[in-house]
Copies of this chain bind each other. A is one copy, B any other.
Amino acid sequence: MISFESDYVQGAHPEILRRFAETNLVPQPGYGFDEYSASAKEKIRAAVGLDNADVEFIVGGTQTNMVVISTMLADYEAVIAAKTGHISTHEAGAIEYSGHKVIELPSKDGKLSADDVRRYLVQFNADESRVHMAIPGMVYISYPTEYGTLYTKEELKALADVCHEFDIPLFVDGARLGYGLASRSCDITLKELASLVDVFYIGGTKVGALCGEAIVFCKVNKPVHFLTSIKRRGALVAKGRLLGIQFDTLFTNGLYFEISRHAIDMAEKLKSIFAEHGIKFFIDSPTNQQFVVLDNTFIEKLHGKVRFEFWEKFDDNHTVVRFATSWATQDDDLKVLEMALDEIR
């Protein structure tokens, strides 16, 4: 059955599979010392416009967040995040497993505001009992957010300014970074983003890869002995080529951006279909995840025709559900959905 459940319901972009086959018998050192990883790092450095960026590959998103946050924070530090942030809600306490507190601030449309962050930091520094408190040591945001929304360049700059002022790094979870950059509402380039923030990752799993996220340390700030630190967190893969080949492919001839643009085009069509069918949006998302509010009886009818994901209860009779597009979404898939909506109406 056609599925809009998420952007990870299918395999990898075919070009990645082709490259797997092509390189399969070439012997390469393990643990990320293969030539594909080296090439991929070089291409990513070029794409982000930072010659001295350190690039490291990790298998999954939660793992990446845990690794980056726990290796960059000092023992006594905590990370500030939106209450709706992925690390606050849907990582099963992975940051806490690593020993660090997530300081959850309120968010609007999934976004953390620079003003709220500054207010927290000012109050913290003025608090005479701060020696008894977890010390804020990083700000975490997602771009796009967990609700598909985007920070404007100005908002990002404001957050970066606060972080700079208080001398703590700004970390961007880019699990769906491509979809953010390809959005018609996006007013920032990858290079601009990389120049603003301290560390971010370029999501692969949800943007055409089978797995893999590329961490970019932007300011010569990769933690020392990083490889040993990720090894002890179980995050070092023996066949590093698995990640290297995928990112080398994604960053050859702009494939990463092409995939992203395609998914955004499909998402825009999806939005039109919802609008035409009078379906209410839960939030105005300019990226590949669309959240709509459906009547529960409507949902029951739609089940069995297309797949989508439960997001959260809206009220006793309505539910918020998510539809996502990806590199693999086809016009035909949208037609199936359209027909299904027509039938139910």
Which residues of A line the B interface, CB within 8 A?
1-3, 5-6, 8-12, 14, 17, 20-21, 23-31, 59-64, 66-67, 70-71, 74-76, 78, 89-97, 99-102, 104, 123, 126-129, 131-135, 205-206, 210-211, 223-225, 227-229, 231-239, 241-242, 307, 309-310, 312-313, 328
Contacts and interface: CB of A to CB of B under 8 A. Distances in A.
A225 B93 contact: no
A133 B88 CA distance: 9
Contacts of A206: 238
Contacts of A135: 225, 228
A232 B26 contact: no
Copies held by the complex: 4
Given A62-B232, A75-B232, A131-B228, 5 more contacts: A17-B20, A17-B21, A20-B210, A60-B237, A93-B100
14 contacts: A5-B30, A6-B30, A9-B27, A10-B27, A11-B25, A27-B307, A62-B231, A76-B92, A92-B231, A96-B100, A96-B134, A129-B310, A205-B239, A211-B238
B234 A60 contact: yes
Contacts of A76: 92-93, 225, 228-229, 232
A10 B26 contact: yes
Contact of A3 (B27, B62, B228): B27
Of A90, A93, A228, chain B has the most CB atoms within 10 Å of the CB of: A93
A313 B123 contact: yes
A134 B93 contact: yes
Contact of A66 (B29, B227, B234): B234
A307 B234 CA distance: 27
Nearest to A24: B11
Contacts of A9: 27-30
B11 A23 contact: yes
B8 A239 contact: yes
B313 A132 contact: no
Contact of A234 (B25, B205, B235): B235
A88 B233 CA distance: 15
A2 to B, nearest CB: 7
Given A27-B9, A239-B205, A313-B123, A97 B20 contact: no
Contact of A96 (B5, B14, B26, B99): B99
Contacts of A133: 89-90, 92-93, 228
